[in-house]
């Protein structure tokens, strides 16, 4: 299913992106300010616009979302686009929760990186998106951009396994 968003008149899209940026730089400024610092640290990496936010392809192997800025792995390592869809969902979380996004971001970082949780996911085959901050980001990103995120494939795999009774 392809997005029909391209049919949206250019002027409407520009107004939407402008409103998005204004919100990211006001209500969502705490995360955007942090994002700007990370952006500066990755200034030499390739950048681009992604539905109103600023996308940077950095050398890390995972994605990060901080307000107006998202960071995704370089092309060639993994398909960066489905990761960007998920990270875009986090930027919408920042629009909704404003300063409280930092709490969500902290929960996401712990869930993604603390060895205990990494091990738990691997050993018990628990999907990454079973953490509420991640599931919510995925839903927001997929709905806004009308295409699958990185977790879509994982969910399919997980459901198939469950059906086979391996979980
Ligand atoms: Zn996430």
Residue 69 phi/psi, 5-degree rounding, is -115, 130
* Helix ranges, the chain (H): 10-24, 29-41, 80-97, 101-113, 115-124, 132-145, 150-163
CA–centroid distance, 2 to ligand 1, in Å, is 23
Confidence at residue 52, expressed as pLDDT on a 0 to 100 scale: 95
CA–centroid distance, 78 to ligand 1, in Å, is 16
CA–centroid distance, 163 to ligand 1, in Å, is 26
Instruction: Give the CA dihedral 70, 81, 17, 59, nearest 10 degrees.
Output: 30
CA–centroid distance, 127 to ligand 1, in Å, is 12
CA–centroid distance, 134 to ligand 1, in Å, is 5
Confidence at residue 69, expressed as pLDDT on a 0 to 100 scale: 98
CA–centroid distance, 33 to ligand 1, in Å, is 19
Low-confidence ranges of the chain (pLDDT < 70): 1-6, 75-80, 166-167
CA–centroid distance, 52 to ligand 1, in Å, is 18
Strand order in the sheet with 53-58: 47-50, 53-58, 69-73, 64-66
CA–centroid distance, 11 to ligand 1, in Å, is 31
d(C-alpha 115, C-alpha 98), whole Å:
29
pLDDT tens digits, 138-165 = 999 999 999 888 887 777 777 787 777 7
pTM, entire model? 0.87
CA–centroid distance, 102 to ligand 1, in Å, is 13
Confidence at residue 1, expressed as pLDDT on a 0 to 100 scale: 45
């Amino acid at each position: 299913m392809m997005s029909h968003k391209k049919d949206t008149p250019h002027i409407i899209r520009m107004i939407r992106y402008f409103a998005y940026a204004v919100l990211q730089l006001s209500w969502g400024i705490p995360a955007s300010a942090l994002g700007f610092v990370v952006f500066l640290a990755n200034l030499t990496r390739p950048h681009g616009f992604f539905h109103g936010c600023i996308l940077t392809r950095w050398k890390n192997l995972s994605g990060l979302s901080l307000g107006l800025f998202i960071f995704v792995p370089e092309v060639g390592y993994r398909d960066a686009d489905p990761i960007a869809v998920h990270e875009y969902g986090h930027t919408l979380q920042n629009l909704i929760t404003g300063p409280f996004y930092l709490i969500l971001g902290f929960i996401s970082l712990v869930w993604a990186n603390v060895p205990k949780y990494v091990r738990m996911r691997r050993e018990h085959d628990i999907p990454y998106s079973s953490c509420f901050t991640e599931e919510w980001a995925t839903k927001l990103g997929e709905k806004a951009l009308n295409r699958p995120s990185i977790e879509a494939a994982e969910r399919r795999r997980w459901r198939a396994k469950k059906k086979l009774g391996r979980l």
